[in-house]
Structure 1
Amino acid sequence: MAIEFWHNPRCSKSRQALALLQDAGAAVTVVEYLKTPPTQKRLKEVIALLGVEPREAMRTKDKLYRDLELDEVSHQALIKEMAENPILIERPIAISGEKAVIGRPPETVLALL
């Protein structure tokens, strides 16, 4: 089964995690999520697989997060903002079957092998 890998090629951690998977011989389907953002439905699915709250799958230190004043909004509002502003999604995310991980540190993705 291929690992779905939400990738931002400008992010060094994302590049490192992708290289680890490829070097291990994993079949990887790369999704440049900034170009092809996930739907709200897909975000909910992946957040459930991650086993985290929506905020934990976000880049809370990002200027846009602060500008949108997202500290006190509902989970649904956070998911909506991630779908509309995918730069807010923590990266990279790797998904395989019923498991998903945030690749921070990059070696975390190896748990899917």
Structure 2
Amino acid sequence: MKATIWHNPKCGTSRNTLAILEETPGVEVTVVEYLKTPPAAEKLAQLYRDAGITPQQGLRLKGTDAAERGLPQASDAAVLAAMAAEPILIERPLVETDKGVRLCRPKEKVQEIL
């Protein structure tokens, strides 16, 4: 099974989720450091749609100015554009496999798509 993780190596939850993926037999992991290689707004829209969440639910509030900018109440398009322009606004880690997508907070949520 192939798995892609949108990863921030400075984030403990992201590191722990990556460890679960690497320790699972048969999983080929692709790591995308999204702060260096941000996904396009279209890719983010697809990830959130496949995860069954809204872009606002995938918005990182802690350590960002998202709330001050009104992003939690903004349109999907505005949130996605902001995330694509400033990937620090993307909550992590996002994991995509053939079985679906999860925002892996807590890290155990990754088990749902393995």
Gaps of 5+ in 2: none
Which residue of structure 1 aligns with residue 54 of structure 2? 53
Gaps of 5+ in 1: none
Which residue of structure 2 aligns with residue 12 of structure 1? 12
Which residue of structure 1 aligns with residue 65 of structure 2? 64
Question: Which whole-Å deviations, capped at 9, do the CAs of 1:46-102 have from their partners, x for residues lacking one?
Answer: 111011111001112333213423233111100100101111111001001351001
CA contact (8 A) 1:59 1:88 kept: yes
Alignment of 1:68-87 (within 5 A): 68-87=69-88
Q: Structure 2: how far apart are the matches of 1:54 and 1:31?
A: 19
TM-score (norm 1): 0.92
Which residue of structure 2 aligns with residue 2 of structure 1? 2
CA contact (8 A) 2:17 2:104 kept: yes
TM-score (norm 2): 0.91
> Is 94-103 or 83-92 further displaced after alignment?
94-103
Select the structure with the greater relative contact order (CA < 8 A; seq sep ≥ 6). Answer: 1
Deviation at 1:24, TM superposition (A): 1.2
Using a 3 Å threshold, how does the CA distance of structure 1 residues 93 and 73 change in structure 2: closer, same or farther? same
> Is 64-73 or 81-90 further displaced after alignment?
64-73
Q: Structure 2: how far apart are the matches of 1:29 and 1:111?
A: 18
Question: What count of residue pairs does the alignment treat as equivalent?
Answer: 113
Q: Structure 2: how far apart are the matches of 1:41 and 1:49?
A: 12
Q: Structure 1: how far apart are the matches of 2:73 and 2:108?
A: 32
